[in-house]
Amino acid sequence: MASKVRHPEVSMQTVEGIELRTAFWPALEEAGHRPLLFFNGIGANLELTYALGEMFPDRDIITFDVPGVGMSPVTQWPYRPWMLARWARKLLDQFEIDEVDVMGVSWGGALAQQYAFQYRNRVGKLILCATTAGMTMIPGRPKSLSKMMDARRYSDPEFMRDSFSTLYGDAVDGEAGRHIDSLLPPDPRGYVYQLLAFLGWSSLPFIRFLKMPSLVVMGDQDTIVPLANGHILKFGLPNSRLHVIEGGGHLFLVTRAQETADVIRGFLLEEVEAAEAA
């Protein structure tokens, strides 16, 4: 992690009448890198992404609470993935950001695929963490999935600590504890809308069109999204590689943050290093 503490600029942005609580980290230094657009997991508020600022200090980063999560008001009606992708694109327009690298974790990884498909000409690289191709996924352990559906994981810190290992396949350490303490309960209707958004959705019909360089990162101890899903993504994405975090569970981005950040940084910097060596 970088030694400098990097706090985001948090604001409410309105897109098509939808209020989105948004976090934006300006790069600490001008390095000429593409900004990073980040999509979080289901029910996850943007406070859980604050480590991104330390992971990638040399680039602008933007993320937002989807409606009904964190402090973004819930929408009146359910939405579909293409709508979320369009709101994200218009949000970038408001920040005068054009081309980005896109990163998504878990539920957000599916949204990252949707965004990369809709706006292929605006995506440089794609990073997918602990995610799937949608309804065609290989399911996780029933015990983990049942706990994931329990709303107490957002409102009861002790329940979350007791269930953390079973739920995510990770041990509760200092980083996991900070993750738990940063959770904000989502609006119940907003959480249901998130679940419904990807009902019947799969990236397999369009995944071959995602020709940008892509990195799939999976944990081999993930009890929610098993490693086999990463192999499916690797097979479908025409210009991709798979990196496995050994011993990593579903939240390896939190519990194995340094290792994961090093892998992703290396992937993002490849073309820059190649150009400098030429």
Which positions are catalytic? Answer: 106
Per-residue buried b or exposed e for 23-38, using 16+ beta carbons within 10 Å of the residue's own CB: bbbebeeeeebbbbbb
DSSP 57-109: TTS-EEEEPPTTSTTSPPPSS---HHHHHHHHHHHHHHTT--SEEEEEETHHH
How many other CB atoms are found less than 10 A from the CB of residue 156? 16
> What whole-number distance in Å separates Cα of residue 255 and Cα of residue 250?
9
> What whole-number distance in Å separates Cα of residue 260 and Cα of residue 248?
10
**Are the C-beta atoms of 91 and 35 separated by less than 8 Å?**
no
**Are the C-beta atoms of 139 and 225 separated by less than 8 Å?**
no
3-state secondary structure of 215: strand
Phi-psi region of 75 (alpha: psi -120 to 50; beta: other; left: phi over 0): beta
Q: Fill in the DSSP letter of residue 46.
A: G
Place of tokens 């690289």: 125
Helix (H) or strand (E) holding 160: helix 157-168
Helix (H) or strand (E) holding 240: strand 240-245
